[in-house]
């Protein structure tokens, strides 16, 4: 048995947790996870739970993916690190670059720029967007558009395009020139529109209106998640992302798909962009690219954007961005093994089937529990429950009550994630029908 008070004191004295109030962990000891096996985690007390969160939307292949572990070990042995700044490269990044270009060819993406995670990927994509316009002689295109409720990581550019005040206000003033468009969030929106298709059209009209107001010639890029993840799994109508693409094309604005969560099968398609039949100009990836086993990411760049950089003779296209760990050979080796396994297991199909089971199960829980105001999902293994204290007023449930839901589910056998008044579910893509039943049963108990 863990000595709760002793560990609480050690944890609070030594660690600040991301996305948490430092004082919270002095009051409550977070679960201490000591092992992961398949899709199950074990805590320090020996209690086991099916991981309904999939790490942090990243452990798509579960905790026992031996080929990825072996690839990491072998690469550590052979070449544990070397930089790929100008002048050197390594065989792992070359092989991975070719594999990614092939994997994302249907998305029109041809080049990879490596990063060490999702926030890095967002930062790089937003920088490249401005640079693209400068290289083309449109230096005035410096502004960014994004969706309210969107999440784009925590670097300053990413926080500036972020659409959730919780991740912004502490750090303001952020970058000027970032403008936010209403998200196609049927449960709450300024238009009071509940029909997904009509709402998509209203949001698209708001996007075009903002472009005209700002002046298209001042805007570099629109960044959006194909399905909004951290904002509470907001699944837009199928017309929405194609509509955004068409508007961006009309006004010469680059479209960046932030697929840190949605790439590699989570939505039931190999990318969120492909789910909606859209080819972005750039795509950010990270998380599941290494199954969460190594911090790594890549920005994928379309042929059209690459051509502008590669044909430049002025010197303006020289990339002044990159990280010590861009193209880390161990991360690249992990990603190669992960991509092979992802395709061999065809995890997107399981994500689609189990995602439907999960979504239907959550809808049944909504019938049973009044505190479930809204259920979102239905496209692969990303779902959310929005909890309210009163269905009529949609008043969000209080923090203590949602913490009880979390605890009840955990004690009954499933880890779920709480974000604001949402319970978010994003299990590994290898979950079985039985695993989903366990998650639903545990959530039922928590509710
Ligand atoms: N973009 C999206 C869509 C994300 O969901 C996240 C993280 O959840 C990020 C960017 C930031 O990624 P990271 O936490 O790896 O920096």
Locate the domains of the chain by residue range.
31-61+346-446, 68-344
Q: Inter-axis angle of helices 118-135 and 303-310, to 10 degrees?
A: 60
Contacts of 292 (CB under 8 A, 6+ apart): 55, 56, 58, 59, 60
CA of 260 to the centre of ligand 1 (A): 6
- Whether 153 lines ligand 1, by a CB cut-off of 6 Å, is yes
- Whether 446 lines ligand 1, by a CB cut-off of 6 Å, is no
- Whether 299 lines ligand 1, by a CB cut-off of 6 Å, is no
- Whether 260 lines ligand 1, by a CB cut-off of 6 Å, is yes
> What kind of fold does domain 31-61+346-446 have according to CATH?
3.90.1150
Residue of 149, 151, 426 best suited for mutating to test ligand 1, as the one with most atoms within 8 Å of CB: 151
CA of 259 to the centre of ligand 1 (A): 9
Predicted local confidence at residue 1, as pLDDT: 55
CA of 311 to the centre of ligand 1 (A): 31
CA of 313 to the centre of ligand 1 (A): 34
| Atom 7, ligand 1: residue with shortest CA distance | 153
CA of 184 to the centre of ligand 1 (A): 20
| Atom 14, ligand 1: residue with shortest CA distance | 118
CA of 411 to the centre of ligand 1 (A): 28
Predicted local confidence at residue 6, as pLDDT: 84
- Whether 182 lines ligand 1, by a CB cut-off of 6 Å, is no
Q: Is the dihedral of CA 387, 52, 338, 72 positive or negative?
A: positive
Token pair of 271, please? 């990318």
CA of 226 to the centre of ligand 1 (A): 13
CA of 392 to the centre of ligand 1 (A): 33
Token pair of 266, please? 């989570």
| Distance linking the first and last C-alpha atoms of the chain | 27
| Atom 9, ligand 1: residue with shortest CA distance | 153
Predicted local confidence at residue 8, as pLDDT: 81
- Whether 225 lines ligand 1, by a CB cut-off of 6 Å, is yes
* Coil, helix or strand at residue 52: coil
Query: Would you tell me which CATH number, out of the four given (3.40.640.10, 3.90.76.10, 3.30.43.10, 3.40.50.300), belongs to the domain 68-344?
Result: 3.40.640.10
Q: Is the pTM of this model over 0.90?
A: yes
Q: What ipTM describes this predicted complex?
A: 0.99
Contacts of 271 (CB under 8 A, 6+ apart): 104, 107, 226, 257, 259, 262, 263, 264, 283
Residues of the chain with pLDDT below 50 are none
Nearest ligand 1 atom to the CA of 155 is: 16
Predicted local confidence at residue 434, as pLDDT: 98
* Helix or strand holding residue 343 (H, E): helix 329-344
Nearest ligand 1 atom to the CA of 121 is: 10
pLDDT in tens, 216-230: 999 999 999 999 999
Q: Would residue 394 be called left, alpha or beta, if left means φ above 0 and alpha means ψ between -120 and 50 degrees?
A: left
Two domains, one topology: 31-61+346-446 and 68-344: no
Q: What is the DSSP letter of 228?
A: B
- Whether 281 lines ligand 1, by a CB cut-off of 6 Å, is no
| Atom 6, ligand 1: residue with shortest CA distance | 153
Q: What is the DSSP string of 107-174?
A: GTEEEEEEESSHHHHHHHHHHHHHHHHHHTT-TT--EEEEETT----SSHHHHHH---GGGTGGG-S-
Nearest ligand 1 atom to the CA of 287 is: 15
């Amino acid at each position: 048995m863990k000595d709760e008070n002793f560990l609480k004191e050690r944890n609070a004295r030594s660690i600040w947790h991301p996305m948490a109030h430092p004082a919270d962990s002095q009051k409550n000891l977070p679960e201490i996870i000591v092992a992961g096996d398949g899709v199950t985690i074990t805590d320090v007390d020996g209690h086991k739970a099916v991981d309904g969160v999939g790490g942090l939307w990243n452990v798509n292949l579960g905790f026992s993916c031996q080929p990825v572990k072996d690839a990491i070990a072998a690469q550590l042995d052979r070449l544990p690190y070397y930089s790929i700044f100008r002048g050197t490269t390594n065989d792992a990044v070359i092989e991975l670059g070719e594999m990614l270009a092939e994997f994302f060819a249907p998305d029109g993406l041809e080049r990879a720029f490596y990063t060490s995670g999702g926030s890095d990927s967002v930062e790089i994509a937003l920088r490249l967007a401005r640079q693209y316009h400068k290289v083309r002689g449109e230096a005035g295109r410096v502004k960014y558009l994004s969706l309210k409720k969107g999440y784009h990581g925590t670097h300053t550019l990413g926080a500036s395009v972020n659409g959730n005040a919780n991740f912004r206000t502490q750090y303001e003033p952020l970058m000027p020139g970032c403008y936010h468009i209403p998200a196609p969030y049927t449960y709450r929106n300024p238009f009071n529109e509940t029909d997904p298709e009509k709402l998509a059209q209203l949001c698209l009209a708001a996007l075009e209106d903002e472009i005209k107001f700002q002046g298209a010639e001042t805007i570099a890029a629109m960044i959006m998640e194909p399905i909004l993840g951290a904002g509470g799994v907001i699944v837009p109508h199928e017309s929405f992302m194609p509509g955004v693409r068409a508007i961006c094309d009309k006004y010469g604005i680059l479209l960046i798909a932030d697929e840190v969560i949605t790439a590699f099968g989570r939505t039931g398609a190999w990318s969120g962009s492909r789910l909606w039949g859209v080819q972005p100009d750039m795509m950010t990836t990270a998380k599941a690219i290494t199954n969460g086993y190594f911090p790594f990411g890549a920005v994928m760049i379309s042929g059209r954007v690459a051509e502008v950089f590669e044909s430049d003779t002025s010197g303006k296209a020289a990339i002044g961005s990159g990280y010590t760990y861009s193209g880390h050979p161990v991360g690249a080796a992990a990603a190669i093994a992960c991509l092979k396994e992802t395709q061999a297991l065809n995890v997107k199909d399981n994500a689609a089937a189990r995602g439907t089971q999960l979504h239907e199960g959550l809808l049944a829980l909504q019938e049973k529990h009044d505190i479930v105001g809204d259920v979102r999902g239905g496209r692969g293994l990303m779902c959310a429950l929005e909890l309210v204290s009163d269905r009529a007023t949609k008043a969000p449930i209080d923090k203590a009550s949602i913490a009880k839901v979390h605890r009840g589910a955990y004690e009954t056998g499933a880890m779920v994630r709480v974000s604001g008044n949402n319970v978010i579910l994003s299990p590994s893509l290898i979950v079985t029908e039985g695993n989903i039943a366990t998650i639903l049963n545990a959530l039922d108990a928590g509710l």
